[in-house]
Amino acid sequence: MKHVERSGNEVIQEELLNGLTRRQRTFILEKLMGMNDKDAALLVGYTLTVSENTKQKIWKPYVRAEFTRLSEKFQMKVHLALLRKLGAEEGNFVGDQTISKRPREVLRLSRRSTC
């Protein structure tokens, strides 16, 4: 195996994805799965002090922006899956797509349940 030396900046850039460290990305994913701030922070390796002050220590604007982006993407996938499931129960298929007779009602109900 060939050893390649890297400068400190190259190592830091490799650890970042979308401007976030691996720990920050994992924290966001745990939050999307429903964990509270403190538990998610402890799970991904933040100290107890940091986990008790997540608003100041973890939720930087770029972390919040990525959380919002992923949350919206996840919500859209959930809504599409719900529409497909309801369409499948009604027996309405078009190719790979399922069409519901009540898409507005489904979206209204699913929005109510996520608030």
Pair 54, 82 in one domain = no
Please indicate, yes or no, whether the overall pTM of this predicted structure exceeds 0.75: no
Each residue of 98-107: pLDDT tens digit? 444 445 554 5
Q: What pLDDT shows up at residue 85?
A: 82
Each residue of 9-66: pLDDT tens digit? 544 444 456 689 999 999 999 999 999 999 999 999 999 999 999 999 999 999 999 9
Residue 8 Cα distances to 12, 13, 23, angstroms: 6, 9, 18
Domain boundary among 15, 33, 59: 59
Rounded to 5 degrees, what angle do the CA atoms 51, 55, 61 make?
Answer: 125
Q: How many domains does one find in the chain?
A: 2
Each residue of 67-109: pLDDT tens digit? 999 999 888 888 888 888 887 666 554 444 444 444 555 455 5
Q: What pLDDT shows up at residue 100?
A: 46
- Is 67 within a domain? no
Pair 55, 2 in one domain = yes
| Pairwise CA distance, residues 108 & 99, whole Å | 16
**Domain assignment of residue 43, given as a range:** 1-59
Pair 52, 3 in one domain = yes
